[in-house]
């Protein structure tokens, strides 16, 4: 099986779906001829034609709105928001429209829309190229939110998102595009080829939405996380020797409660981790769910390891990023009591 980077895997998912379904089309800023600032759409316009993969004006609200109209017509649009930090102009169209059209029309119309967008830090992007806005979508009824952590899942989840009949926010951890990243920014970059989940079939396959994966089995403490932080959590476990079970949530909404409960009931301890600012982050929902479902199994408070409650500052990339050290501290605190 070929190995792929996450970029190649995402490109392959789009390629497969463009070939399979004439109603699939892809558009966004700089994604057509140029292939996107992260090259995820490279070659697709050339291969599938100008009307299948094309550029958009710089108007995120307009591009999501147009995609909603296309979805209502019967197409399966995929749009790219160049950075998750630039999704806010489209927030009304996503929240008030895409998320609610099926409901408010009693099923007469629906919007099979996928919004792909690179999120997260680790690339010295400063406050407007590093954000993790997932919690702003998980709060909205009618949206699914997906975050892959490796090439295999990225392709399979993106195919599932495109084939899903509801709007999906598909957040791509940009720091993982070209290789797994465990938070040790001072170490040499590892290529994806060395990671087992870079083996990606060429053709069509799906990783189902709503199902978590156990990225590392363990028995001492459960880490609930997603995206880049999956690799950070594994590193923290290996480095501390703490036998942590790392659950890669993959889909945040709908959440795979069974996998979460099974793990926390087993370990009795839990750390939730994400890059997004702590307060009202998705980790808060995870804390709430875990204590609701596993209260009598918990032997210690659930620990949150997250971005600080500040914007993501350029010169403090590694002070802001919740790397293996902060995660290790969280694991230790969870085991202390």
Partner 1 sequence: MRNRSTLSLRIPQPHRRPGDKPDFSTIAIPPAGSLERPATDANHRDLIPYAYGLIRVLNEDHKAVGAWNPRLDPAVLIKGLRDMVLTRAFDDRMVRVQRQGKISFYVKSTGEEATAVAFANAIEKNDMCFPSYRQQGFLIARGCPLVEMMCQCFSNARDPMKGRQLPVLYSFREYGYFTISGNLGTQAPQAVGWAMASAYKGDDRIAVTFIGEGTTAEGDFHHALNFAAVYRAPVILNVVNNQWAISSFSGMAGGDETTFASRAIGYGLPGLRVDGNDYLAVYAAAQWAAERARANLGATVIELFTYRAEGHSTSDDPSRYRPSDEWRAWPLGDPIDRLKNHLIAIGAWSEKQHQALIDEAVTLVRETQRETESIGTLADGSRAPVSAMFEDVFAEMPWHIAEQKKAAGA
Binding site for ligand TPP (CB under 6 A): 29, 58, 82, 86, 89
Binding positions for partner 1, 31-50, rule CB under 8 A: 32-34, 37, 50
CA 225 to chain CA mean position, Å: 10
Do the beta carbons of residue 303 and residue 333 sit within 8 Å? yes
Binding to partner 1 (CB under 8 A): which residues in 5-34? Answer: 25, 29-30, 32-34
Q: How far is the CB of 250 from partner 1 (least distance, A)?
A: 15
Q: Considering beta carbons, is residue 84 or 200 the nearer one to partner 1? A: 84
* Nearest to partner 1 of 197, 236 (CB atom): 236
Site membership for partner 1, residue 72 (CB under 8 A): yes
Query: Quick check: 178 binds a second copy (CB under 8 A)?
Result: no
Tell me which residue of 59, 10, 52 sits closest to 33, measured CA to CA: 52
Q: Does 158 bind partner 1 (CB under 8 A)?
A: no
Number of neighbouring beta carbons within 10 Å of residue 286: 25
Cβ–Cβ under 8 Å, residues 41 and 53: yes
CB 314, min distance to ligand TPP, A? 15
**Residue 210 binding partner 1, by CB under 8 A:** yes
276 binds a second copy (CB under 8 A): yes
DSSP codes joined into one string, 282-302: HHHHHHHHHHHHHGGG-SSPP
Closest Cα to residue 324, out of 219, 180, 151? 180
Hey, is 7 helix, strand or coil?
A: helix
Other beta carbons within 10 angstroms of residue 151's beta carbon come to 27
169 vs 114: CA distance, rounded Å: 6
Nearer to a second copy, 78 or 255 (CB): 255
Q: Does 166 bind partner 1 (CB under 8 A)?
A: yes
Candidate segments 9-17, 39-47, 208-216, 300-308, binder of a second copy by CB under 8 A: 300-308
Beta-strand pair 24-28/76-80: parallel
Site for a second copy in 219-258 (CB under 8 A): 253
User: Which partner in partner 1, ligand TPP, a second copy, none is near 110 (CB below 5 to 8 A by kind)?
Assistant: partner 1
128 binds a second copy (CB under 8 A): yes
* Whole-angstrom distance, CA of residue 127 vs CA of residue 232: 21
| 322 secondary structure, DSSP code | -
Name the minimum Å distance from CB 109 to partner 1. Answer: 5
Return the SS3 of 65.
helix
Among 30, 300, 318, 332, binds a second copy (CB under 8 A): 300
Q: From the CB of 207, what's the least distance to a second copy, in Å?
A: 22
What string of H, E and C letters represents the secondary structure of 120-185?
CCCCCCHHHCCCCCCHHHHCCCCCEEECCCCHHHHHHHHHHHHHCCCCEEEEEEHHHCCCCCCCCC
Span 109-148, contacts to partner 1 by CB under 8 A: 109-110, 124-129, 141-142, 144
- Residue 254, preceding peptide bond in cis (omega within 30° of 0): yes
Residue choice 2, 59, 191, 208 for contact with partner 1 (CB under 8 A):
59
Dist CA 55 CA 36 (whole Å):
9
Q: Out of 43, 191, 208, 254, name the contact with partner 1 by CB under 8 A.
A: 254
Residue positions annotated with a catalytic role: 129
Summarize as ranges the residues that interact with a second copy (CB under 8 A).
Answer: 61, 85, 88-89, 91-92, 95-96, 100, 103-104, 127-128, 135-136, 138-142, 253, 276-277, 279-285, 287-288, 291-292, 295, 298, 300-304, 309-311, 313
């Amino acid at each position: 099986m070929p190995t792929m980077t996450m970029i190649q895997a995402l490109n392959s998912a789009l390629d497969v779906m463009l070939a399979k379904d004439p109603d699939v089309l892809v558009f966004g800023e700089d994604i057509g001829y140029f292939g996107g600032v992260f090259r995820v759409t490279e070659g697709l316009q050339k291969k599938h034609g100008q009307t299948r993969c094309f550029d958009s004006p710089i108007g995120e609200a307009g591009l999501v709105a147009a995609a909603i109209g296309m979805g209502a017509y019967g197409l399966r649009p995929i749009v790219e928001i160049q950075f998750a930090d630039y999704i806010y102009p489209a927030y009304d169209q996503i929240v008030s429209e895409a998320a609610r059209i099926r409901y408010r029309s009693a099923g007469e119309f629906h919007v099979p829309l996928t919004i792909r967008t690179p999120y997260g830090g680790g690339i010295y992007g400063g406050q407007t190229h590093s954000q993790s806005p997932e919690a702003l979508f998980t709060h909205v009824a009618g949206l699914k939110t997906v975050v892959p952590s490796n090439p295999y899942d990225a392709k399979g989840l993106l195919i599932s998102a495109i084939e899903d009949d509801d709007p999906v926010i598909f957040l791509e951890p940009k720091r993982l595009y070209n290789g797994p990243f465990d938070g040790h920014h001072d170490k040499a970059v590892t290529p994806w080829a060395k990671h087992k989940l870079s083996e990606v079939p060429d053709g069509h396959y799906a990783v189902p939405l709503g199902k978590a994966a156990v990225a590392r089995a363990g028995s001492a403490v459960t880490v609930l996380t997603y995206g880049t932080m999956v690799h950070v959590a594994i590193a923290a476990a290996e480095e501390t020797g703490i036998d942590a079970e790392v659950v890669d949530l993959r889909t945040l909404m709908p959440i795979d409660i069974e996998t979460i409960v099974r793990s926390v009931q087993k370990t009795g301890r839990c750390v939730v981790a994400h890059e997004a600012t702590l307060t009202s982050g998705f980790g808060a929902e995870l804390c709430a769910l875990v204590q609701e479902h596993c209260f009598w199994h918990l032997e210690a408070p659930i620990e949150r390891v997250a971005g600080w409650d500040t914007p993501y500052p350029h010169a403090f990339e590694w002070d802001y990023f919740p790397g293996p050290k902060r995660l290790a501290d969280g694991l230790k605190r969870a085991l202390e009591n």
